[in-house]
Structure 1
Amino acid sequence: MAPIPGLRGLILAATAAVITSAGAVFVLMQPADATRKITGTVEAAPGLAWSVDAAATHGGANAKFHDPVAGTEYDIGSPGFIDAGDTLVTVLGASDGDNSLRDPTMVGIDAATGAVRWRTPAAHLDACARTPVDGRVVCFVAPSTEPPALVGYDIASGKVTRTPTDWNIFALATADNRVYVAEGDAESDDVRVHAGTLTDPAADWTRPFAMGTSWEDVSTDALDVSHGQGVLTLGAQLAGFDLGTGAPTWTSDLAGCSRTAATSAALVVRINADCTGGTNGTDLLDRTGHVLATSDGKVAQSLSIDQPTDDTIPVLLADGAHDRRTGKLVWTSPDLLTKPDNGNAVSGTATAILGDLALLRDDAARTITGLDMRTGHRVWQVKTERFGTVNAWDRRVVVQSDYTGLWAIDPRTGTTVWDIPFLAVDKIPDALNGNGQLTAHDNGRYAYASARTMIGLRPLDH
């Protein structure tokens, strides 16, 4: 297939597809009839399947794509979408630089063609859950903006299901086709968690939790149910609970500016930190709150992707790996630590757990390393001058991004498999940038959203 010019050149060479939905007109900037080879890329690179422009779709120059998880009340969060399989659900709204989001609309985009399937008004949403439930994206409205409610957007049609409630909802999570809601008065330690459905959010159970914090410290992601247990975090207080019954299983405290990260299976990593930016050690808590392992290393590992093969893959704490079942130290590796040339404190290098391999990034040494998670042995190491954010792994390649583009490496060898510069997709600067969201689908298909443009990529032999 012969190379073709950038996206704007394609528009001159082909008639854009026009799709009408709910009285609005949407323009596909890349026709959906064929996958186009991106100029200058290797044959292994996916081609451009489609592209949607935010300004052309919304009808305003300041329009942006927003991740629905951050809600629609303010211009906060990052570009992105909720991956609902065949449909990508995003928020489209205009930003005037005053932290408000004007005319926010929930939009369903066909993941295969880029066609806009539907659009529905989406004002005053405080937050939405990352995982759809029963074919709907689930969001909530708190009483500070308008009458409180749970709001569902049908993935196929955009139809709205609204469940009014008198709860003061402050957090929402979903897992295994169940909706979890946290509500109450956090400043009075009068909080409840409910589990159920969109239309009956307390159908399964309701549990009170005598914990709280100031409203300024309450986060919409205070509720986590994604790793086999429930964890409620309010200020310096933590509580674990059983997902099936809601029964509280443990409580703990976070001193100073400590924080937590959940991992499989039903484990919590507690990073003990002071408020000057330093780390004092890390604990691994099991589903009963018992401390399985402790590391006094003043280093925390920060993972963009955490997808271990199973519970035989250890957990990384500082420079060591600990058994997920017993907490026993399995191995240590100096590759897990780096000391920057600027004299800053030692920091962790792990960026992703990909099955039984850890991907490490050492900016000081200018290396990327693949580490065997079962043995701690180095599988490969390559020198590089390019570092990016680890975005997605499709079990074959891991895709990273920076401000210049997307590129994929083979996690078994460290070899770069393909590289797609943003300017080869769209010649207008900042039409695409590295501050976006990428999702990987089966058979080498990807979708990427930056603030101004969403694109679909798929193999050239499709």
Structure 2
Amino acid sequence: MRTLDRQTWALAAAAVTAVVTVTVATIIVVTNIGSDTSGSASRSGPPAVAWTLDAAKYLDRPFGQFSDPRGGASFGSGTPGFVDTGDTLVTLAGSPTSGYHLGDAVMIGIDPETGQVRWRSPAADLEGCGSTPVGGKLVCYASNSGGKHEIVTFDIESGTSARRSISEFVFAIATTGDTVYIVEGSPEEDDVRVHSGTVEDVSAHWTHAYDLGAAWESVYEDQVLTVTDGVGLLDIGGQIAQFATDSGAERWRSTDYRATNVTLRAGGVLTQATTDAPSGQTTVSQELRGPDATVRASTTVPVVQRFDAGRADDADRPVLMGDAAYDRSSGKQLWRSDDLLATQGNGFGTVTAVTEHIAYLRDSDKSETGLDINSGKRLWRTTSAQQFAPLTSHDDVVAGGDGQALAAFDAKRGTSLWTIPFSALDPDPETFRSGGAMVAHDDGWVYSSDRRIVGLS
């Protein structure tokens, strides 16, 4: 396949000045989806629809689209998502185009309680944003076809935006509460550097070069940079470097194509699977590495537990690997369970979501199981499976959608709590057909497709 240069990916758009506006979302009540409309996100009755925000109506355009700011407005646009800052949900909105970018993109800050758009700022040329505000600001990077590179910030409270030109050719960003990390260089020439610094000076702390490389296509398919609890993970087209965030010092590096499913977890630990050499398809071993890259635990059980939904990872919670749970600090095996193994082996285990106390499992035989995450004790088991894809959780309630409805499930008791058909929200099936992102907020939920955001309470 032809290799694309970096400029091919950068799409032109004019830089514009920030604007602050306020818009009130539509308030509606759905009466045909349940009678109990009070309570919390973990109660048994279906919530009421408190508000909706339609992208096309809000933008006053024939077509509108919401998109996750972390993916930027240039590449991968149209995948809904938020940066959840607590009192404000931040997302991108724009017009879908035949290319990769959102047309006339704007960043908006939404009140999750009311759906009110608190502010709106232009977001031209954004390629990515950090997932954590730094000093009360969402930090992003931008590039255009004219070769201009910028660090762009959005004040979480006011939406005020600022742009600062930089010389670095940035292609990834990660943020913590007080630090900005960027990746720049030319992966196709094995010329990759990570900078650690501030919004004002992205190299204020350190700059470190890593001998990793890949084609641009593969770089844009991966989560390039992850940072948590003093450890960073750099993934350049499957070539991996684990480093210390206080210095950039490399702790472990792998250019072996057999290393897969490399994931940085809370506590600064890393899990990694190794596949067989001939096919690269079958997992032959897995390892749990500490922040210093030493191997704390390993297993030859050929099953990878892969899940994206549920409670945010917790450093005090066991790591599920193969058919067992391991203490992430010591590497000690805490418990094992055959329930973690799928009936029909496909290389992946049964873990579907992890909540505050529960590992929620779905087997290939359509059964479901709830295990106590700390002891491995089976709490319940059913012979019929929920159909929705888990997107988030609150306490021990898992919520998500199946393309036809929103649903919530009590993972501690193994019972369905409520279902809200999308047809009850809008008779047009296209409104909720594409994508889905969901967050829990106080006593309710906020769900987004690429066309509409819905607040439930």
TM range (shorter): 0.7 to 0.9
Q: Contact (CA 8 Å) 1:67, 1:90: kept in 2 or not? A: yes
2:189 corresponds in structure 1 to: 188
Tell me how far apart the structure 1 counterparts of residues 127 and 73 of structure 2 sit (CA, whole Å): 6
2:247 maps to 1:245: yes
Displacement after TM superposition at 1:368 (Å): 1.9
Tell me how far apart the structure 1 counterparts of residues 22 and 311 of structure 2 sit (CA, whole Å): 40
Any residues of structure 2 matched to 1:14-413 within 5 Å, and which? Answer: 22=19, 26=23, 28-30=25-27, 36=29, 38-43=31-36, 44-74=45-75, 76=77, 78-142=79-143, 146-219=147-220, 221-256=223-258, 258-273=260-275, 277-305=281-309, 307=311, 311=315, 313-340=317-344, 345=346, 347-362=348-363, 364-413=364-413
Q: Contact (CA 8 Å) 1:75, 1:101: kept in 2 or not? A: no
Tell me how far apart the structure 1 counterparts of residues 377 and 327 of structure 2 sit (CA, whole Å): 16
1:456 corresponds in structure 2 to: 455
TM-score by length of 2: 0.86
Displacement after TM superposition at 1:412 (Å): 1.6
Displacement after TM superposition at 1:157 (Å): 2.2
Deviations 1:88-110 (A, max 9, x none): 21111112444342221212222
Displacement after TM superposition at 1:30 (Å): 2.0
Displacement after TM superposition at 1:199 (Å): 1.7
Tell me how far apart the structure 1 counterparts of residues 251 and 280 of structure 2 sit (CA, whole Å): 32
Deviations 1:40-88 (A, max 9, x none): 2251222111101111112233311111111111453511222122222
Tell me how far apart the structure 2 counterparts of residues 119 and 396 of structure 1 sit (CA, whole Å): 34
Tell me how far apart the structure 2 counterparts of residues 296 and 237 of structure 1 sit (CA, whole Å): 22
Q: Contact (CA 8 Å) 1:27, 1:56: kept in 2 or not? A: no
Tell me how far apart the structure 2 counterparts of residues 434 and 359 of structure 1 sit (CA, whole Å): 25
Q: Contact (CA 8 Å) 1:127, 1:140: kept in 2 or not? A: yes
Tell me how far apart the structure 2 counterparts of residues 306 and 250 of structure 1 sit (CA, whole Å): 29
In structure 2, what residue type is equivalent to 1:170?
Answer: F
TM-score by length of 1: 0.85
Deviations 1:92-135 (A, max 9, x none): 11124443422212122222211222222212111111222222
234-243 or 116-125, which deviates more: 234-243
Tell me how far apart the structure 2 counterparts of residues 388 and 253 of structure 1 sit (CA, whole Å): 37
Q: Contact (CA 8 Å) 1:391, 1:400: kept in 2 or not? A: yes
Secondary structure at the residue paired with 2:103? Answer: strand
Report the CA distance shift for 1:375/1:74 in structure 2 as closer, same or farther (over 3 A): closer
Secondary structure at the residue paired with 1:216? Answer: helix
Give the RMSD, CA atoms, in angstroms.
2.6
Tell me how far apart the structure 1 counterparts of residues 295 and 389 of structure 2 sit (CA, whole Å): 31
- Unaligned segments of structure 2, at least 5 residues: 1-17, 37-44
Displacement after TM superposition at 1:156 (Å): 2.1
Tell me how far apart the structure 2 counterparts of residues 391 and 246 of structure 1 sit (CA, whole Å): 33
Q: Contact (CA 8 Å) 1:337, 1:346: kept in 2 or not? A: no
Secondary structure at the residue paired with 2:247? Answer: coil
Q: Contact (CA 8 Å) 1:339, 1:347: kept in 2 or not? A: no
Report the CA distance shift for 1:164/1:436 in structure 2 as closer, same or farther (over 3 A): same
Secondary structure at the residue paired with 1:423? Answer: helix
In structure 1, what residue type is equivalent to 2:152?
Answer: V
Displacement after TM superposition at 1:218 (Å): 2.2
Secondary structure at the residue paired with 1:387? Answer: coil
Number of equivalences = 429
Tell me how far apart the structure 2 counterparts of residues 122 and 383 of structure 1 sit (CA, whole Å): 48
Report the CA distance shift for 1:234/1:189 in structure 2 as closer, same or farther (over 3 A): same
Deviations 1:164-189 (A, max 9, x none): 11111111001123211112233333
1:12 corresponds in structure 2 to: none
Deviations 1:323-372 (A, max 9, x none): 212323332211111134xxx6353100122234211111x322221112
Tell me how far apart the structure 1 counterparts of residues 291 and 387 of structure 2 sit (CA, whole Å): 36
Deviations 1:133-161 (A, max 9, x none): 22221111246564111111122222211
Tell me how far apart the structure 2 counterparts of residues 153 and 23 of structure 1 sit (CA, whole Å): 11
274-283 or 256-265, which deviates more: 274-283
Q: Contact (CA 8 Å) 1:87, 1:109: kept in 2 or not? A: yes
